[in-house]
Chains A and B, each alone.
Chain A
Amino acid sequence: MDARQIMTADEMRRAIVRVSHEIVERQAGTEGLVLIGIQRRGVPLATRIAAAIGEHEGVGLPVGALDITFYRDDLSLVAQQPIVKGTAIPVDLNDRTVVLVDDVLYTGRTIRAAMDALVDFGRPRAIRLAVLVDRGHRELPIRADHVGKNVPTSRDELVKVHFVETDGEDAVWIERREGAA
């Protein structure tokens, strides 16, 4: 299996800083903003975006973690229930602008599930989406508001985002799916 690196630690850092500026610019400030990372690698990404916003805006934004397992549309198809990672929403979401954060945007089904989960916590003023990598192949009418890097891929490939916190390194890899021709 040949893996190819498509983002280095430096490139990831710059993309995260740019996305952090975009989020504040789009919002014309940080009032009412809350970042919510989707388990698992959306969580370290959300924490880093919040840290970057903290550096240039001098504010500490609340960061949450969202586990979408119970909202998946394929729960009746998988043979074994996925292990739940846990949800922690630190603030009341009513009238907040929620930026959902995930590492990779692919079919859009995770984001659909995440939006279903979020509205169970309240009625945000708006929900936006920030991802590190958009790899295409959407199956639902969903798009990201903020993208670190657009990466054309084939369905036979896997995009793996690694963070020091979860994987011991900062890097984005692309590799062929096992068993793909």
Chain B
Amino acid sequence: MSGPGATAPAAPVGPSGPDAEAAWTQKHLLDVDVLSAAEIGLVMKTTDAMKEILARPITKVPALRGRNVTIIFYEASTRTRVSFEVAAKNLSADVVNIAASASSVSKGESLVDTIRTIEALGAHMIVMRHGTSGAPYLAAEVFSGSVLNGGDGWHAHPSQALLDLYTMRAHLGDLRGRKVVILGDVLHSRVARSNVWTLTAMGADLWICGPTPILRGFDAWAARWANGRGPNGHGGFTVTSDVDAALDGADVVMALRLQRERMDAGLLPSLREYAARFGLTRERLAAAKPDALVMHPGPMNEGVEIAADVAVLDRSVITEQVANGVAVRMALLYLLSGVHGGWHPEGGIGG
């Protein structure tokens, strides 16, 4: 039946595409290495729905009403912590914020005791950042609810990798064969390590670039993917200290923060030399595709790993990354909140 009035609603399909159908079975989100391509697709699709909520006059839905999300950060953070808090509140969760420095942690309470205490105080989900790699895994062993890793040591930052992926797909669509360059201090970067998993899973042609002393470990890692190819048979994985080769024809350039606080070990001669040889400048970026995306997980050291004028180019999507961070974290909280003991035999409210 078709008449003059048949205006079909705009298909609510965003960058994730229409086809992602997968069941979510993860109880925790500790890293992205355990996610299948289909599960990553489900996160992307759910993020589309969250973006729609964020565009409404009232950006709040009751999906997590009555759930307690406790956020405990043992390391400084603005965007990740606030973004998780906003995400949880948009889903109507009750949010408890713990600054480790102002809690009993400063009196010497162990991580395990802190997690048990948080559980006793009613937390259903914990979002945790810790300076020690693997700390959220320990928390997940102790805690009966879900643990979301908000960044642990040099190891993983899963929500960042997923928001980076979402942002790339929003502009580029399918990432298969797209050249993505991660440039900078990859050695100390949990963002880089998590991005390796998601980007290779999506078939991107991934290039890791930085000063030779800072690439330590990534060579060996690249070799784990036979012949530098991703686990799904396409894409690639190249590690190099040649910036010009890395940037040549790139679709995405992600600059990483130079972790000055971790530079004491004498890995780099000076900030100035680093900026001169590896900083993302307009001149260097000219080697990339004309519309190549510029990304940065923040916070930026402008004039070091990225020039101030590059950060504000039209094709810089750095603030978009922050905005997408809220939607991705809403999707993660929503998906994880479903995996628990209760089971409704009909699986729906039917009618």
A interface with B by C-beta (< 8 Å): 13, 16, 37, 43, 46-48, 50-55, 57-65, 67, 69-88, 90, 104-110, 113, 116-117, 120-122, 135, 137
A146 CB to nearest B CB, Å = 16
Contact flags (1/0) for B309-351 with A, using CB distance below 8 Å? 0000000000000000000000000110111111110011111
With beta carbons under 8 angstroms apart, the residue of A55, A76, A121 that contacts B342 is A76
Which residues on the A side are within 8 Å of B341 (C-beta)? Answer: 79
State whether A63 and B8 are in contact (beta carbons under 8 Å apart), knowing that A71-B61, A107-B349, A110-B351 are contacts in the complex: yes
**How far, in angstroms, from A37 to B138 measured CA to CA in the complex?**
46
Task: Say which residue of B1, B64, B66, B348 sits within 8 Å of A52 (CB atoms).
Answer: B1
Q: Interface digits, B170-192 against A, CB 8 Å rule (1 contact, 0 not)?
A: 00000000000000000000000
19 A-B contacts (beta carbon < 8 Å): A51-B1, A52-B1, A54-B6, A55-B1, A55-B3, A55-B5, A58-B4, A60-B7, A62-B7, A63-B9, A71-B61, A74-B344, A76-B342, A80-B338, A80-B347, A83-B21, A83-B42, A84-B49, A86-B49
Chain A residues with CB below 8 A from B137, complex form: none
Given the known A-B contacts A48-B1, A60-B6, A78-B348, are A88 and B12 also in contact in the complex, defined by CB atoms under 8 Å?
yes
B57 at the interface (CB under 8 A from A): yes
Complexed CA–CA distance, A59 and B49 (Å): 30
Select which of B8, B48, B56, B351 is within 8 A of A107 by beta carbon.
B351
Asked if residues B342 and A43 are in contact (CB atoms below 8 Å), the reply is: no
> 19 additional contacts, CB 8 Å, given A81-B334, A86-B13?
A51-B3, A51-B5, A53-B3, A55-B1, A59-B4, A71-B61, A71-B62, A74-B349, A79-B342, A84-B46, A85-B49, A86-B49, A87-B49, A87-B52, A90-B10, A106-B351, A108-B351, A120-B60, A120-B61
Given contacts A54-B5, A105-B351, contact A70 B91 (CB under 8 A): yes
Among residues of B, the one whose C-beta sits closest to the C-beta of A58 is B4
A137 to B340, CA, bound (A): 30
> Interface residues, chain B, CB within 8 Å of chain A?
1-13, 21, 23-25, 42, 45-46, 48-49, 52-53, 56-58, 60-64, 66-67, 91, 334-335, 337-344, 347-351
Residue of A69, A72, A75 with most chain B CB atoms under a 10 A cut-off: A75
Distance, CA A11 to CA B55, complexed state (A): 40
Cβ A55 vs Cβ B4 within 8 A: yes
Residue of B1, B49, B343 ringed by the most chain A CB atoms within 10 A:
B1
A75 contacts which of B4, B21, B49, B63 (Cβ < 8 Å)?
B63
Q: Do the beta carbons of B9 and A61 come within 8 Å of each other?
A: no
> Is there contact, CB below 8 Å, between B13 and A61?
no
Q: How far is the CB of A94 from chain B (nearest CB, A)?
A: 9
Are B338's CB and A121's CB within 8 A? no
Establish whether residues B5 and A50, one from each chain, have CB atoms under 8 Å apart when the complex forms. Answer: yes
Q: Which residues of B contact A120 (CB under 8 A)?
A: 56-58, 60-61
Given A70-B61, A71-B62, A121-B56, A43–B9 Cβ distance below 8 Å? yes
For the complex, what is the distance from the CA of A117 to the CA of B61, rounded to whole Å?
Answer: 8
Q: Are B9 and A47 in contact (CB under 8 A)?
A: yes
- Contact, CB under 8 Å: B12 / A87: yes
